[in-house]
Amino acid sequence: MGQGRDDEERRAELEGRLAAVRERIAAACAAAGRDPDQVELMAVTKTVPAADVATLLDLGLTLFGENRAQEARAKVAEVAALRPGARPRWHFIGGLQRNKAKAVVGWADRVESVDSARLADALDRAAARAGEEGGRPGPLPVLLQYSVDGDPERGGVPADGLLSLADHVAGCAALRLEGLMAVAPLAADPEAAFADIADAAARLRSACPAASVLSAGMSGDLEVAIRHASGVVRVGTALVGCRPLASL
């Protein structure tokens, strides 16, 4: 009984948070003169249990982001067992070691954090092998992770390496380059950071017209990101609350 009531309370909480996030997105689109259909909401579900993902699926969300290869693989399987009829899309958005490429290719519908030629090569090999083994129907969609300030700690390719990395990825037969992902640096002026990110996305798109996706904006800055042309906002905290440390 207690469990059931907790589940209901959590569902109500997630429903309220989702409505609030959707309202923010709608208001930001209205302010920017953009069609809300052009901005997709990704629920970042790192550190939250599979039961929350199942509830978010019930509430109509279909796109989920994870940033830890191990945690995600288990969660993807759990969610599939909880909601066998659902078709969630899972995007990998975290730092990735090359030796984890194979594991991620097994479940990820897109990898948004490609920031080096070596990582691209590892994903290309893993995706090609998965294709041969019948595990993937086609090339693995990827985004290049762009670094605004070039800080190697947070990952991402800096501005001066962006187009050569795009060129490299375009030559990887088992990858499909779909666009750019970025995280605005905490210390930066968000206006300037997102203007820079939009500029990088535009440069990538003019070099490579199929690479048209821009994934930028999180709980704290989605409005600025939408003003600067983002097409995917990745929202964790505002949607699921403070992440329970116990599951880290």
Ligand X SMILES: *Cc1c(COP(=O)(O)O)cnc(C)c1O
Q: Which is nearer to ligand X, 93 or 140 (CB)?
A: 93
Nearest approach, Cβ of residue 65 and ligand X (Å): 6
Question: Which of 55, 67, 116, 147: binder of ligand X (CB under 6 A)?
Answer: 67
Q: Which is nearer to ligand X, 174 or 200 (CB)?
A: 200
Instruction: Return the C-alpha torsion angle 197, 231, 179, 183, nearest 10.
Output: 40
Q: Which of residues 1-20 bind ligand X (CB under 6 A)?
A: none
Q: Which is nearer to ligand X, 128 or 144 (CB)?
A: 144
| Amino acid of residue 12 | A
Which of 193, 233, 195 minimizes the C-alpha distance to 213?
Answer: 233
Q: Which is nearer to ligand X, 55 or 113 (CB)?
A: 113
Q: CA-to-CA distance for 166 and 134, rounded, in angstroms?
A: 27
Nearest approach, Cβ of residue 214 and ligand X (Å): 13
Q: Which is nearer to ligand X, 80 or 218 (CB)?
A: 218
Q: CA-to-CA distance for 229 and 202, rounded, in angstroms?
A: 10
Question: Which of 191, 220, 244, 247: binder of ligand X (CB under 6 A)?
Answer: 220
Q: Which of residues 200-219 bind ligand X (CB under 6 A)?
A: 218-219
146: left (phi over 0), alpha (psi -120 to 50) or beta: beta
Nearest approach, Cβ of residue 225 and ligand X (Å): 11
Q: Which stretch binds ligand X (CB under 6 A): 71-79, 128-136, 164-172, 236-244?
A: 236-244
Nearest approach, Cβ of residue 42 and ligand X (Å): 8
Instruction: Return the C-alpha torsion angle 190, 195, 197, 203, nearest 10.
Output: -170
Residue 236 lies near ligand X (rule: CB under 6 A): yes
In contact, 64 and 40? CB cutoff 8 Å: no
Q: Which is nearer to ligand X, 39 or 174 (CB)?
A: 39
In contact, 163 and 179? CB cutoff 8 Å: no
Tokens matching residue 52: 């929350």
Residue 183 lies near ligand X (rule: CB under 6 A): yes
Q: CA-to-CA distance for 94 and 111, rounded, in angstroms?
A: 9
Nearest approach, Cβ of residue 173 and ligand X (Å): 27
Count, residues near ligand X per rule CB under 6 A: 14
Q: CA-to-CA distance for 149 and 185, rounded, in angstroms?
A: 7
Q: CA-to-CA distance for 222 and 217, rounded, in angstroms?
A: 4
User: Which residues form the interface with ligand X (CB under 6 A)?
Assistant: 44, 46, 67, 93-94, 183, 218-220, 234-238
